[in-house]
Amino acid sequence: MTLFEIFALGVAAVLTGFSKAGFGGGINPLVSIFLVLIFPAEFVIGVQMPLLLSGDVLGMFVHWQKWDLNLTFKLVCGGALGVLIGNWMLNRVNEEQLVQTLALLVLAFAAYQLFMRFRSFKQTYNVPDWVAIPSGLVAGLTSTLAHLGSPPLFAYLLLRGTPVQTFIGTTVLTFTILNWLKVPGYVQSGILNTGILSLTVWLVPLVFIGAIAGRRLSAFIRQDIFELVILSLMIVPALLLLV
3-state secondary structure 14-78: HHHHHHHHHCCCCCHHHHHHHHHCCCCHHHHHHHHHHHHHHHHHHHHHHCCCCCCHHHHHHHHHH
User: How would residue 225 be classed by pLDDT, with cut points 50, 70 and 90?
Assistant: low
Q: What is the pLDDT of residues 89-122, one digit of tens each?
A: 988 888 888 888 888 887 887 787 677 666 555 5
- C-beta neighbour count of 140 within 10 angstroms: 32
Q: Say how many C-beta atoms besides its own lie within 10 A of residue 224's C-beta.
A: 8
Put simply, whether the predicted model's pTM sits higher than 0.85 gets the answer: no
User: Based on C-alpha coordinates, what's the Rg of the chain?
Assistant: 17
Stretch 16-36: mean pLDDT: 73
Please indicate whether residue 79 or residue 212 has the higher confidence score (pLDDT).
79
pLDDT digits (tens, 9 = 90+) for 162-210: 887 888 889 889 999 999 999 999 999 899 999 999 988 989 999 888 8
Give the domain extent around 55: 3-242
- Count structural domains, the chain: 1
Higher local confidence (pLDDT), 20 or 236: 236
| Residue 204: alpha-carbon gap to chain centroid | 16
